[in-house]
Amino acid sequence: MKKIILLFIIGIFLFEGNAQNWQPAGEKIKTQWAEEVDPENPLSEYPRPQLVRDQWQNLNGPWSYALVKRGGSLPQAFEGEILVPFAIESSLSGVQKRVGENEELWYQRTFTVPSEWKNKNIVLNFGAVDWLADVWVNDIKVGTHEGGYAPFCFDITPFLEKGEQKLTVKVWDPTDRGYQPVGKQTNRPRGIWYTPVTGIWQTVWIEPVGKTFITQLKTVPNVDGENVSVLASAKGLIDTDIVEVKVIEDGNVLSTGKAVAKQEVLVDVPEAKLWSPESPFLYDMEVSILRDGKVIEKVESYLGMRKISTKRDESGIVRLQLNNKDYFQFGPLDQGWWPDGLYTAPTDEALLYDIQKTKDFGFNMIRKHVKVEPARWYYHCDREGILVWQDMPNGDDHPEWQTRNFFDGKELERSARSEENYRHEWKEIMDLCYSNPSVVVWVPFNERWGQFKTEEITEWTKNYDPSRLVNPASGGNHYDVGDIIDMHNYPEPVMGLYTSKRANVLGEYGGIGLPIDNHLWETGRNWGYVQYKNSEEATDEYVKYAKMLMKLIPYCYSGAVYTQTTDVESEVNGLMTYDRKVIKLDEERIREVNQEISNFFK
């Protein structure tokens, strides 16, 4: 994607507050990037790379905060300052307080709308807020959003006043004492379960738009047909509006397509340069709305031409394919946690670092494990070239667990409210990643956590996005549905269940533990599936498991996931320490054997 020059307008903080007073809280380990956080302008990059406008104002920075008993009113006085967008439990928030289901977290700040945005509509955007958010502008409630992982926005134009504007947000999050998706968050951190995350944890920003403006793009490449379809959702459309899409290569318009508003636009991409981890080529894209022949809205985006599918090989084994060729997908289980920011990377450079190191290690895939990342993370995956399996964060209760057979037990019966919330949040997550070429597999359930109506959810997921593969239940409970059947086994790779109908993958294995002094979250006992005394021992074991995996590929497996990218809190089974300051295993030896696996079918 060509370099886009953004007009970035730094927000002016008019409330009583001083970013210079901010300091990370607590004494636990931190990454090197914690020292690079700019408290006046944290995470300053444009947060939505696939729908870019050239004017915006970042509202990250110091806000006032208060904790109030659930059901209480707006506090008369705030307790202090919190650095947005870092969750209140994190060090980088400057607060590091636990909340719980009996309290609500209130935020407040002021901002001004730039004068050059006069006569424009103003949209207020949130990258993500965990979990239930109510929003007021100038003491008028403008909306509510339920869901901890996806972006949402409000057109706040009617509620703006002259001069400064007051923005207030209230958040309630019961974490694992509710039914909502929480991933690895728990009110009692231990082992594989981590510190809760409450409140704003992604960028907040405003931007000027016209009365008609694009809210979402769904881009689906068709490699075989040499075209791409683009569906633009927008507010303020009229029936005669035209959506125009331009596909651009190296600054030159390659092709153009048009359609009546609310219809898919089909654009030719002849002799396309295909996207892959080895060659992550991205086309630029411009999407405009035309009314009476005039452009009334335009955004910039990008696309990657790639195809993900399955095909039975000569031996009768169903293989994963990328761009119509057998392709072994191999990568780490990536939790996406940070010792200083918890859910939120300290900087964009930190967010990118884990992806780059994953490629350096010789992997071609990442399984994003029961967590969702900001849009910029998926952009980095698109640009760097790495495949992504995207999990749905788990929530609610758990049924019995069966791993070595097709499930014959009783599934979890969720309440109607819990089911409704699952479907709502899963759809939001899929919408977030719908146009990212790196995302190739949806994983609705992991290890039976919150698993319910598996066949129905699998069918719905596949119908909502037929362009990707669905791995219905990573690690069980297994059903004869979807595109993939996924085994887990620790520590060594084995073949525990096989089907000739679907691609077989080893969704988790490994977990080689190696604690490194002075880089540990917990000073007491740390946790790993198996633990070793030094890097040489751990590396030897890693290589042993990798060679065992290679022997299984001809007979069954088309993909595998090693646990895991980094240590997380008390877990010490990462390839890197939690603070990312030490690569724990021999990188050269890991890369060499990983490349053998990743290139198995080449």
- Interval 348-384: pLDDT, tens: 999 999 999 999 999 999 999 999 999 999 999 999 9
- Interval 273-317: pLDDT, tens: 999 999 999 999 999 999 999 999 999 999 999 999 999 999 999
pLDDT band per the 50, 70, 90 thresholds, residue 9? very low
Q: Which element (helix H / strand E) includes 172?
A: strand 164-172
pLDDT band per the 50, 70, 90 thresholds, residue 3? very low
Q: What is the pTM of this model?
A: 0.96
- Structural domains for the chain: 7-209 (2.60.120.260), 213-303 (2.60.40.10), 328-598 (3.20.20.80)
Per-position DSSP letters for 313-353, written without gaps between them: -TTS-EEEEETTEE--EEEEEE---BTTTBTS-SSHHHHHH
pLDDT of residue 258: 98
Tell me which DSSP letter residue 568 carries: B
pLDDT of residue 173: 97
For residue 4, what are the contacts with CB-CB under 8 A and spacing of at least 6?
46, 52, 54, 300
When pLDDT is averaged across residues 561-575 and rounded to a whole number, the result is 97
- Interval 175-219: pLDDT, tens: 999 999 999 999 999 999 999 999 999 999 999 999 999 999 999
Asked whether the predicted pLDDT for residue 5 surpasses 90, the reply is no
When pLDDT is averaged across residues 422-440 and rounded to a whole number, the result is 98
Q: Helices 587-598 and 535-552: crossing angle, nearest 10°?
A: 10
When pLDDT is averaged across residues 47-53 and rounded to a whole number, the result is 98
The closest alpha carbon to 86, from 112, 60, 109, belongs to 60
pLDDT of residue 18: 66
Average pLDDT, the chain: 95
With beta carbons less than 8 A apart as the criterion, state whether 41 and 60 touch.
Answer: yes
Per-position DSSP letters for 8-23, written without gaps between them: EEEPP--SS--GGG--
Sign of CA dihedral 139, 140, 142, 144: positive
Give the Cα separation of 89 and 522 in Å (integer): 16
- Interval 233-264: pLDDT, tens: 999 999 999 999 999 999 999 999 999 999 99
Give the Cα separation of 507 and 559 in Å (integer): 8
HSE-CB for 318 with a 13 A CA cutoff = 15
Burial class (CB within 10 angstroms; exposed 0-12, middle 13-18, buried 19+) of 153:
middle
Q: What is the 3-state secondary structure (H, E, C) of 503-544?
A: EEEEEEEECEECCCCCCCCCCCCCECCEECCCHHHHHHHHHH
Percent above pLDDT 90 for the chain: 94
In 10 A of CB 255, how many CB atoms?
17
Return the residue matching tokens 């929003």.
Answer: 135
What residue type is 187 in one-letter code?
N
Q: Which element (helix H / strand E) includes 122?
A: strand 121-126
pLDDT of residue 21: 87
The closest alpha carbon to 377, from 421, 327, 430, 436, belongs to 436
pLDDT of residue 1: 44
